[in-house]
Chains A and B, each alone.
Chain A
Amino acid sequence: MAQRRTSGTNLFMTVLCVVAMCRAVPINELLERASQHSDKLHSLSTTLTQELDSHFPPIGRVIMPRPAMCHTSSLQTPIDKDQALQVSESDLMSLARSLLQAWSDPLVLLSSSASALPHPAQSTIFNKIQEMQQYSKSLKDGLDVLSSKMGSSAQAITSLPYRGGTSLGQDKITKLINFNFLLSCLRRDSHKIDSFLKVLRCRAAKMQPEMC
């Protein structure tokens, strides 16, 4: 009985998928949605860094690690506009997906640290981190769908593991400094993702220049 039902539902799902594929969402529409997500992600990270900076010990700026210390800095990305415009679509998609993937664990760490962050704007920061996690998750799903339409090279992901451990530090200053550093790395990477996706969107919408 149950087997018949599962086979029935399988058949139904197959039919549904076939129908859905015949009316699949076009790539430029998917890219539009993806770039809106990435824009939101970048905007959240920007406001987060600004809020953190409002009450940041000045010494922290001095001893903060350099951005080269970000766990994603090993990934080779274009460093100016001309270079970026020469990268192929698949590579751009691959880069975006790799960067996004690299932040799934650190976001969890940021979220757990934000719940007890010694900062006056702690609750706002915590809420924004939560939001970022949601957007990151939905963007990841969207990019999975997109990359499956763009070929196998678009689906390659470079692994960029986070090796910072499970805690940001013991004392208040260290915590804040490490938190700020992670946020600055996140801001840069989210900006990269956003820029790549917007370039992709513009390329896909050749018929509609107003999309760019």
Chain B
Amino acid sequence: MACARMVKHLRLPLLLLLLALAAECNSMSPPEKPDKLGCRSPDKETFFCWWTPGSDGGLPTVHHLYYKTEGQENMRQCPDYHKAGSNSCFFSKTSIWVEYTVIVEASNALGNTSSDPLTFDLMNIVKPFAPENVTVVVNIEDSPHLTIQWHTPSNIDTKSGWVTLKNQLRVKPDKSKIWKNYASETQTHFTIYSIDLGVVYMVEVRCAIDNSWSEWSNTTFVKVPNFSRKDNSFWILVFSLCLIPLLAAMIILILKRKTVKKYILPPVPSPKIRGVDVQLLKSGQSEDVINAMLLNQRFPVMIPWKDQKEDYLIVSDKETSYLPLEKKKIFILPLAMALDSEVQSKETSEVDHFPKDSESSSEESSDKTESSQLLTKCSSANVLNDEKANQLKGVTEKIFQPFGIGGYVDIPRHEHMQEADYSRVNEVNGDNILIMKKENIPHTLDTRGQEGSVPDNYSMVKEVNSDNVVFLEKHSESVNASFKAKGYIDWVNQKPKNLHMAGHSEMGVCPQLVGCEYVDTVPPPAVI
């Protein structure tokens, strides 16, 4: 009986001992202290804190968060454990510029463990969430660009000015490693123009409250197409429209190239003789050429030489002395005799053509002692060579000058020169040389003079050299007579520039000329 009463009294403590022993065998412990405390305010008004619990020590453990602000003595418990998820505490009423101290306590049956305290100011834990609903639109009309839009995170009070958001976005091509940052202050849209076609772009956006930046938003991928068909067709159309008039212009140019060439490069007028066909000259016979030149020429009207001072050249035989100047006998030196350089420059070329062009000389000179006519000045008909020369040149009437110098050669009389014998001028060598043909040409002397009869002591001019020397030749004998022209130089010097011959078709009429006397040996050939 006493034994049973002893067992009854010992039952409870024994049970407890057994339990304690059992607990000891399972190694239960108070919880580990919670770790990694963190707090964040997404809107500068509310904040939440989180922690990572340690091991629970095998027993059900609860966590409590306690906090206090700067001026308070006692810790207060977390107002909301659920809003921010598990192991978190949400604070809706907060103070700023005040230091918070937060502690998390884990407790189980065996004990409590507190975490390290976390102190912070609300301003230090402000960090907004990333922007939402980021949309990127590609636009390739006009110039390709990306239009990016997003929404600010919700529940942020920007209206009162308590919170001001700044935005930032970054873009990079898919393959590249470098991001390009763009700042967009308070607006929630942005356009980027510097994009390439055919590239995939990645776009991210973030925002900041008071210089505290959020995380980057989720990446948005966008592909820029390679080209715009509409764009392309437009350019093809423009190009073809521009091309058609160009082609037309080119075709016209090619078809009318001759006209164009004539317009751009007008032909340089080449020397031409009226009525003379260049082709004929090139190809034709000499007779044809002569015919062409002689037959078809319309010689310009000769204007009588007016207001000219005439000097006379006294020419005499070698044996004879100079005879006094007789105005009756007037000989006109050919152009070739002119020594006036100015005139010569004008006329020499004519004279040069002179002998080459005319084979048949219609010039006759008297071999009479009385007169030998070299050339008539006044007579248009006899100045054939000159005329021809001028005609060949196409000299107009206005400036027609058969001679450079209208001068006269006065050949003194010779007694024995009875007959008037003319010779044809065969050729003129050089400037001043007349070569006579030894011929007996029946002369038809048609002398007109202002004074008296024709003197009969003419000499034939054989030659005139460049020293103003005239070589005369007698008909019967070849006599070289050198005469020095007496007034030759005077005659030359006084030569006026402009010779103006009125057009006279008849023989050498110069009524106005003083002392213009000439012997017209041969009537003008019919051909002229």
Chain A positions near chain B (C-beta within 8 angstroms): 39, 42-43, 46, 66-68, 77, 79-81, 84-85, 187-188, 191-192, 194-195, 198-203, 209-210, 212
Contacts and interface: CB of A to CB of B under 8 A. Distances in A.
B95 interface: yes
Which of B97, B159, B160: most chain A CB closer than 10 A? B97
A202 B99 CA distance: 27
Interface in B111-148: 121, 123
A116 to B, nearest CB: 28
Given A39-B211, A67-B121, A210-B186, A202 B160 contact: yes
A62 to B, nearest CB: 11
Interface string B65-100: 000001000000000000000000000011111110
B158 A212 contact: yes
A192 B123 CA distance: 10
Interface of B: 44-45, 70, 93-99, 121, 123, 157-162, 164, 186-187, 210-212
Contact of B210 (A77, A191, A199, A209): A191
A43 B211 contact: yes
17 contacts: A46-B211, A46-B212, A67-B121, A68-B70, A79-B97, A80-B96, A81-B44, A81-B160, A84-B162, A85-B162, A188-B97, A191-B97, A192-B97, A198-B162, A199-B162, A202-B160, A210-B186
A209 B159 contact: yes
Contacts of A81: 44-45, 96, 157, 160, 162
A21 B210 CA distance: 34
B380 to A, nearest CB: 99
Nearest to A194: B210
Contacts of A201: 161
A212 B159 contact: yes
Nearest to A77: B97
A200 B98 CA distance: 22
Nearest to A47: B211
Contacts of A191: 97, 123, 210
Sorted nearest first, the 10 A-B pairs with minimum C-beta distance are: A202-B161, A79-B95, A43-B211, A199-B161, A212-B161, A191-B123, A81-B162, A80-B95, A198-B161, A198-B164
Nearest to B212: A46
A212 B163 CA distance: 8
A85 B95 contact: no
A66 B98 CA distance: 11
Which of A39, A46, A66, A79: most chain B CB closer than 10 A? A79
A96 B97 CA distance: 14
Contacts of A80: 45, 93-96
Contacts of A67: 70, 99, 121
B143 to A, nearest CB: 27
A147 B388 CA distance: 114
Given A84-B162, A212-B158, A79 B99 contact: no
Contacts of B98: 79
A196 B508 CA distance: 126
A52 B67 CA distance: 28
B164 A212 contact: yes
A187 B159 CA distance: 25
Given A39-B211, A66-B99, A80-B95, A203 B70 contact: no
A67 B44 CA distance: 19
A19 to B, nearest CB: 33
Contacts of A200: 161
B160 to A, nearest CB: 6
Contacts of A46: 211-212
Nearest to A201: B161
A194 B159 CA distance: 16
Nearest to B122: A80
Contacts of B157: 81
A57 B164 CA distance: 35
Contacts of B158: 212
A188 B123 contact: yes
Contacts of A188: 97, 121, 123
Contacts of A192: 97
A76 to B, nearest CB: 11
Contacts of A199: 160-162
B161 A203 contact: yes
B96 A42 contact: no
A191 B123 CA distance: 8
